[in-house]
Each structure stands twice: as structure tokens, then as C-alpha cells.
Structure 1
Amino acid sequence: MPTFTLAVPVTAELEIRKSRFIAHAIPVADRDAAIEMLRGLREAHPGATHVCWALLAGGQSGMSDDGEPSGTAGRPILEVLRHHDLDGVLAAVVRYYGGVKLGAGGLVRAYTDAIASALQGATRIERIAQAQLAIEIGYPDEARVRRWIEQEGVELLESHYGMSVRLHMRMPATMCDAARDALTDLTQGRAGFPD
């Protein structure tokens, strides 16, 4: 079953009984990127009462009620992400307290509605698992391999030059076996694939 991420960040704002709920759904690569985004949201909203969030990112899930009663914010946000089959997404809701208590049920509804409304018009794109592949080649094969990388739309992460050339690439995980075969053929068996 495919999972999806968001094409671009989306946001929505709701006012519920004088409290402002500003929902953000942001595509992220991993937990570190999500933590960085949360830091940015807290800096952008220094007067906010709570910044509650949930993350689904390839097994790096997490959530926080950020001071709201346990289970009233992070879990409902996480459930909305799951309902939309999303992965690689940080969902955060910034709350400015308006002076009227909503109660546990009201909070669950408010956080659920806020993130659901942000996702309502969101463009989802299929999330394709990525893998890294390193290749070790002689200098005479480098131009051919670089041309292959460019033609296949593979991302070149880094290059190391020593007695040989080592190139590190990122590509869809499903492409790795075919890439090894193609590069072995291209270099007439001279390519090595270190771990």
C-alpha cells in the first residue's frame, strides 16, 4: 500500500471559543528536520500557549501534547495523519488560549478539526523510499558514470578522490539492483560497490 507525503507545506487557522488554533502540515525528511521546524514555529509564535504536534516519518514517529491534558492534542493530530495515509509529515498546531476552557472532548475536536482543515486542500504525492549507493571506479570510468547519474536523474551526494573515485548517490530503493547491474555493465565489470 503506498504512503504519501505533502507536495508543499499547508496551513489553516480556526477560532474556537476565543482560542486560535493555527495548524501546519509540513513535509519533512526525518525527525531531525521535524525538530528544526518545531523550533522555527516556536520562534515565530513566542506568545503561543501550546505548540502540539505529531510526526510520521518512516518509523520515526512522535507526538507531544505540549502541556495540554494528556491525549487531547498529539494523539488526535497523529490519527489525522494516519487517516490520510501520510508519512514524512510533521503536523503541528499552535494554540493561543482565549480564556475559555474547552474540556478534554473539546480539545480533541479542536486539534482534530484544525489539522484536518489544513490537510483538506493539500496535494499529496506518493512517498518513495530512498536508498544510498556508493560506487568505486577508476578515473577513466568517471565521466561515463557521471553521465549515467545525470541521465537517470539520480542525486549525487558526494565525491571522493584518492587512488580511485568513490561516488555516493541517492535513488529510489527499488532502483538499486538495476543501478548496480547497469553500472557494472557500463564499466565492463570494473565498478565496485562498497557498503
Structure 2
Amino acid sequence: MPFTIANTVIFEEEIKKSRFQAIAEIVENEQQVKAFLEKTKDISTTHQCWAWKIGHHVRFNDDGEPSGTAGRPILATIEGNELTNVIVLVNRWYGGVKLGTGGLVRAYGGCAGQCLMLAEKIELIQKKEIVFSCLFNEWAIIHYELTQQQIEFQEHYTETGVMVEARVQVHQIDPLKLKLQDVTRGREEIKVVDDQTHDA
């Protein structure tokens, strides 16, 4: 079962006069990656190197450091901790002493690793995106059901009723299908959009 981190974690250390700061954060898609990198942009840094893993997709960036000395070691710490849906950014403020390629690998990988050691790990649960519709007079019952089961949803009002988009755990789908068929007397069905994985 894959894991992610429970919350944002920051770790700082100094290595041969260079200051390193690692920030680990949960991300569920590339839009969240872009938002995180935009939010943490810091022109005072010498380098901002990062790596992320979402599901089976990975990406990393050395941001001007010698190729393979920063982003890849950060990614290795994410994978070594068996984590997914996470980005780790390591900021470096150069202190005047060169570390060499081996030193950079150890510094970036080590700082990212220390940061992830501080993070609380939580299990990921498979969720699916679903879509369904109902009439206005049926919505109150279905709304109550979604709220009781603590399901994330967004409703859109149309001329004929309500269209609902929701993220549900796999085991919640069948009971919800039965409820919807019961309330709408078999008129409406749940459509499963895609598979996603989210923290518990």
C-alpha cells in the first residue's frame, strides 16, 4: 500500500557554509506542483532543486547544479521512503565553498531525506471520481447521504435538477448506487469518471 506525508515539513541545515532548506508537501496533480513551485519561488536562493512523484509519474529538476547531483538524489529519497503524491524542494544558498559532485549528491539527498524523516506518513486510499444527476426534490436526501459519509462533492444546478461531481472511496460506490436508484426510482445511475489515489 503506498503512503504519502500527512502535512508540510521543513528541514534546514548548513553544509560547508552553504545553507540548505528542504520543504516537503503533498501534491495530487501537476497543477498543485506548479502552484507549490510558484508559492516557494525565492530569488535569494542560488538554486531551487526539486523532485516529485504522483502515482507512477515522476519529475525532477537540478536548477543549474551539475546534472544528476540534485533532483535525482531528491527523487531517490522519495522513492526510498516508498512515498507518492509528494514534492520535495531543496533550496540552496551558496556559502562560498564548492562541494563537488559527490558532496552535492550527499547534500541534496541527505537534506531531503532528513526532511522526510520528520514527516508523518499516512496510507493512501484509492478513490474514484463519480458523476450523477437528480431532481431538485431528490437532492436533500442525497445531500444528507453524502454529508453523512463525509464524501467530497460539488453540485451544479441545472434547469432540470442537480448535477453532482464527487470523490468517493471504492467501497462507497455500490451503496451510493443503490441509494441513488432508490431515491430516483431507478431513473439515474452513477458514472465513474476515473481512478485516483488520495491520502486517508
Cα separation, 2, equivalents of 1:84 and 1:9: 16
Q: Whole-Å Cα distance in 2 between the matches of residues 54 and 118 of structure 1?
A: 13
Letter in 1 for 2:56: G
Does 1:24 find its partner at 2:23? yes
CA–CA distance in structure 1, aligned partners of residues 178 and 83 of structure 2 = 33
Equivalence for 1:107: 104
Report how far residue 174 of structure 1 moved.
4.5
Q: CA deviation at 1:58?
A: 2.0
Whether the 8 Å CA contact 2:180–2:189 is kept in 1: the answer is: no
Aligned residues with identical type, % of pairs:
36
SS at match of 2:40: helix
| Residue 143 (structure 1) shift | 1.1
- Residue segments in structure 1 that go unaligned for 5+ positions in a row: none
RMSD, aligned α-carbons: 1.6
What's the TM-score once normalised by structure 1's chain length? 0.91
**Aligned amino acid, residue 33 of structure 2:** A
**What SS does structure 2 have at the residue aligned with 1:146?**
helix
Cα distance in 1 for residues equivalent to 2:53 and 2:170: 19
Paired position in structure 2 for 1:119? 116
1:150 and 2:147 aligned: yes
Q: Which residue is 2:36 aligned to?
A: 37
Equivalent residue, structure 2, for 1:66? 63
Correspondent of 1:95 among 81, 84, 92? 92
Unaligned 5+ runs, structure 2: 194-200
Aligned residues of 1:5 and 1:127 also touching (Cα < 8 A):
yes
- Specify the alignment match of 2:197 in structure 1: none
Shift of 1:84: 1.0
Deviation of 1:165 after TM superposition, in Å, equals: 2.1
1:193 to 151, 169, 190: 190
In the alignment, the residues of structure 1 paired with residue 137 and residue 39 of structure 2 have an alpha-carbon distance, to the nearest angstrom, of 47
Quote the Cα distance in structure 2 between the aligned partners of 1:102 and 1:69.
11
Partner in structure 2 of residue 160 of structure 1: 157
Comparing 94-103 with 169-178, greater Cα deviation is found at 169-178
Deviates more, 1:21-30 or 1:55-64: 55-64
Aligned to 1:55: 52
Q: Is the 8 A contact 1:30 1:58 kept in 2?
A: no
**1:154 maps to amino acid:** I
3-state SS of 2:178 partner: helix
Aligned to 1:83: 80
Task: After superposition, give the CA deviation of every residue in 1:126-181 in whole Å (9 maximum; x if it has no partner).
Answer: 12233221111122211111111111111112322222321111122443344223
Q: Residue type matched to 1:97 in 2?
A: Y
**CA deviations over 1:20-79 (Å, ceiling 9, x no partner):** 11001111121111121112211xx31111000000112342100011111111111001
